[in-house]
């Protein structure tokens, strides 16, 4: 047998493998999602997400220093309100946990980029991502509330806003209000392609945002659809999105790859709570090597075309082997 090419030649040593490796994870690729709660001295474990906590502003700032020292560039803030109501009025309050956290972070850890999640679901008593009118999430009535929330984040000093609600037209509505108020340099990272996914289960415990009736399938995307993802992304580009996100990540690598091939903007992918907790749970059972599976899944997400990865593993990944 005369083999002309033997792919194994380049796999013989770690040095060679490193030399021909196509995908590299860097600390700068990661964005660390965090949960801010009202109060003082709060550090509450999220049971379904081992290693994740709800933190009050004072605790969050402490942890933010650690995040910066690990070489991570950015965090994404989710807020919990003091009190929920029908219209989610605390979402845009300058005294809200997110707004306070942003002000403190920009003062005390200014190098860290602060991105805020813009959505109504943690703030509304019904837990939906917009406002309810006659038993349904009213798209256009929700836009103003979302834009006001985004504006309050920008006024607090947020470096970037990230709408995750999936209302039609919200990127344009947010861009317009930000521009009017002098925040034309604040970028929008749009959750452009967000599926109605059961992988968000553990997050809903963390953010206390499970809907009290129905589900999110009337605004988040059907997991079976790929062409629709291109349409969603195209709309957000037209409305002025600066970064396009696909979410979840690992079960949707084909979508990440298609969006990255089609659009010129930076692509982000969100390794969501369920993806994280599955790995954690299997590792706790002794069934998987946690760090190896973590790095393999992050590498796969990057290989598919993500420039940025939102992941609860950000600190853990920054601590090991990435450069």
Under the rule (CB under 6 A), what is the footprint of ligand PBG?
A: 117, 119, 121, 129, 164-165, 200, 203-204, 216, 272-273
In the set 18, 83, 194, 231, the catalytic residue is 194
Q: Give me the residue whose beta carbon is nearest to ligand PBG.
A: 203
Q: Among residues 59 and 142, whose Cβ is nearest to ligand PBG?
A: 142
Shortest Cβ distance from residue 216 to ligand PBG (Å)? 6
Angle of the 290-304 helix axis to the 273-284 helix axis, nearest 10? 150
Q: Among residues 117 and 232, whose Cβ is nearest to ligand PBG?
A: 117
247 given a catalytic annotation: yes
Please state, in angstroms and as integers, the Cα–Cα distance from residue 271 to each residue in 115, 155, 180, 239, 248, following that order: 16, 29, 33, 25, 6
Shortest Cβ distance from residue 179 to ligand PBG (Å)? 24
Shortest Cβ distance from residue 253 to ligand PBG (Å)? 17
302 given a catalytic annotation: no
Shortest Cβ distance from residue 1 to ligand PBG (Å)? 51
Q: Report residue 36 as tokens.
A: 């801010």
In the set 83, 106, 107, 247, the catalytic residue is 247
Q: Among residues 153 and 216, whose Cβ is nearest to ligand PBG?
A: 216
**Burial of residue 322 (number of CB atoms within 10 Å: 0-12, 13-18, 19+):** middle
- Paired residues of 116 in beta bridges: 77, 161
Q: Among residues 63 and 321, whose Cβ is nearest to ligand PBG?
A: 63
Shortest Cβ distance from residue 20 to ligand PBG (Å)? 34
Residues with a catalytic annotation lie at: 194, 247
């Amino acid at each position: 047998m005369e083999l002309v090419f033997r792919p194994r030649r380049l796999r013989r040593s770690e040095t060679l493998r490193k030399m021909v490796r196509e995908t590299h994870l860097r600390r700068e690729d990661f964005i660390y999602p965090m949960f801010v709660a009202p109060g003082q001295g709060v550090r509450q474990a999220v049971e379904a997400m081992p290693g994740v906590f709800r933190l009050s502003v004072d605790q969050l700032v402490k942890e933010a220093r650690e995040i910066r020292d690990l070489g991570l560039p950015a965090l994404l803030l989710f807020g919990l309100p003091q009190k929920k109501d029908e219209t989610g009025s605390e979402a845009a309050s300058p005294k809200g946990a997110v707004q306070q956290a942003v002000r403190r972070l920009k003062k005390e850890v200014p190098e860290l980029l602060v991105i805020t999640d813009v959505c109504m679901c943690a703030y509304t008593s019904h837990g939906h991502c917009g406002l309810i009118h006659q038993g349904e999430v009213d798209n256009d009535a929700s836009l103003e509330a979302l834009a006001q929330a985004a504006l309050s984040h920008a006024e607090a000093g947020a470096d970037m806003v990230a709408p995750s609600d999936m209302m039609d037209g919200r990127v344009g509505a947010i861009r317009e209000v930000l521009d009017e108020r002098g925040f034309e340099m604040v970028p929008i990272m749009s959750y452009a392609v967000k599926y109605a996914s059961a992988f968000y289960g553990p997050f809903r415990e963390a953010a206390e945002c499970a809907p009290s009736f129905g589900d999110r399938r009337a605004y988040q995307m059907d997991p079976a659809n790929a062409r629709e993802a291109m349409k969603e992304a195209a709309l957000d580009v037209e409305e002025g999105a600066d970064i396009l996100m696909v979410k979840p990540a690992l079960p949707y690598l084909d979508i990440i790859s298609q969006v990255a091939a089609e659009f010129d903007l930076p692509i982000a992918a969100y390794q969501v709570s369920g993806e994280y907790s599955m790995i954690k749970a299997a590792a706790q059972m002794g069934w998987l090597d946690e760090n190896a599976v973590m790095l393999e899944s992050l590498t796969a997400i990057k290989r598919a075309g993500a420039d940025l990865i939102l992941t609860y593993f950000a600190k853990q990944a920054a601590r090991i082997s990435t450069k």
